Amino acid sequence: MAKEKRKTPKLDELEKGKWPSFVKEIKTAAEKNPMAEDLLGQLERSYEEKIGHWKHGGIVGVLGYGGGVIGRYSDLPEEFPNVSHFHTLRINHPAGWFYTSDVLRKLCDIWEKHGSGLTNMHGSTGDIIFLGTRTEELEPVFKELTDIGFDLGGSGSDVRTPSCCCGKARCEWACYDTMALTYFLTMHYQDELHRPAFPYKWKFKMAGCPNDCVASIARSDMSIIGTWRDEIQMDKEAVAEYAKSGLNIQRDVVGNCPAKCMDWDGKEIKIDNKACVKCMHCINTMPKALSPGKDRGACILIGSKAPIVEGALLSSVLIPFIKLEPPYTELIDLVDRIHEVWAENGKNRERVGEFIQRVGMGNFLEAIEVEPIPQMIAHPRENPYVFYEEYYEEDGEDSDGQEEEK
């Protein structure tokens, strides 16, 4: 006799509408996987009671690693025994999320054999997420993953799996090779990725241009965003084509320039490149006519995070322009200095952005040996009652050696 289908009226609501539904996918998996079946039951129960029934964290992992596995247990193990353990694995994704279909099949085969068969492609960390397995399956799944060339990603207080936009693989605006840098950082920081040694998580995200398709400015401790320092490249004939085809250049391009650094006389666009803030609006609007300059590199920003312990932060400029080419020595020196200072002085669960807020940007810059520059400042100080030590020396002389006026 066929098993009676579990009733899930609350979850069924999430199958309605025109969007893809995770409930539909779990139901499909539940036809052959008991973990997915019990997951539906526990989830329905959570929707009924408005209470989560997962216990999170703990000691699960693979030997030698401190990241990559997120422990999860049901607090209703008698009722839903197949999800009594439901650990998540984070798998280090390839830079730019490029796969062959053969590799995707292999990943799915491994996960159907050792886990719930449910995946999340991809998690907000960027990793491939394998949802739900038992503790005793962790080492076997890890072995099979490494056999096909994959490794676990980061979790906990470590370097999280670096991620990037597709960069030069598909985008002509990429100002540096984001995929190459992502691969390099992943390999260079293997120890820090697998063995948590920091006060809290550290995320690198690489965006090839200021469009920032990976939203690095909002969700990475170090945002590396492509930019240029010469003039925007312009194809004047293509500009004329845009005008001819009906684009209102004055209204939709020049009028929306936040730096007001463009002029349109009806025939030509003139750009004051020194005033350009690299917002990409004009380039996005007229991609055939305008493109980033030729002298390309990246801007390094620091300190963004989503709200967890404290509120959200956006990254702020640390290095306005850097040429990013192998062997990336300058970048690695900078990152190592930051890690050293933060690891030494950061509090438990304090992200680097919060650390900078606590100690002050001036002290942080001094500790990491970076000179303060105007690009690091959002706007001039508003409080005139700020005095700097170097102007007031102990013997009553000012910094020029002249006696101070009383």
Partner 1 sequence: MAEQVKVEEVADAMYKMVKDSMGQKKWKATDLTKAVLELFGDRCDKALAKSAIRELIESGKCVYTYFGGSFIEIPHKEGAEN
By beta-carbon proximity to partner 1, the closer residue of 51 and 63 is 63
The CB-of-367 to partner 1 minimum distance in angstroms stands at 16
- CA distances 123 to 130, 176, 406, Å, are 10, 25, 64
By beta-carbon proximity to partner 1, the closer residue of 57 and 396 is 57
Contact pattern from residue 219 through residue 258 relative to partner 1, giving x for each residue in contact according to CB under 8 A and a dash for the rest? ----------------------------------------
Chain residues 78-97 in contact with partner 1, contact rule CB under 8 A? 84-85
Contact pattern from residue 153 through residue 172 relative to partner 1, giving x for each residue in contact according to CB under 8 A and a dash for the rest? --xxxx--------------
How far is residue 74's CA from residue 86's CA, in Å, rounded to a whole number? 7
The CB-of-157 to partner 1 minimum distance in angstroms stands at 4
By beta-carbon proximity to partner 1, the closer residue of 263 and 369 is 369
- The single residue among 169, 343, 359, 367 that binds partner 1, judged by CB under 8 A, is 343
* Residue 64 in tokens: 């030698």
Does the protein bind partner 1 through residue 199 (CB under 8 A)? yes
Helix/strand/coil for 226: strand
* Residue 312 in tokens: 């959200």
Does the protein bind partner 1 through residue 63 (CB under 8 A)? yes
The CB-of-350 to partner 1 minimum distance in angstroms stands at 9
Residues 281 and 292: beta-carbon distance below 8 Å:
no
DSSP assignments along 314-361, one per residue: --EEEEEEE---TT-HHHHHHHHHHHHHHHHHPPTT--HHHHHHHH-H
Which are the contacts of 296, defined by CB distance < 8 A and separation ≥ 6? Answer: 175, 176, 226, 227, 228
Amino acid identity for residue 213 in this structure: C
By beta-carbon proximity to partner 1, the closer residue of 2 and 59 is 59
| Bridge partners (DSSP) listed for residue 128 | 91, 121
HSE (side-chain half, CA atoms, 13 Å) at 396: 4
Residue 389 DSSP class? G
Residues 343 and 323: beta-carbon distance below 8 Å:
no
- Name the one range near partner 1 by CB under 8 A: 12-20, 50-58, 114-122, 136-144: 50-58
Contact pattern from residue 90 through residue 129 relative to partner 1, giving x for each residue in contact according to CB under 8 A and a dash for the rest? ----------------------------------------
Residues that bind partner 1 (CB under 8 A): 55, 57-61, 63-67, 70-71, 73, 84-85, 135, 155-158, 191, 195-200, 343-344, 346, 348-349
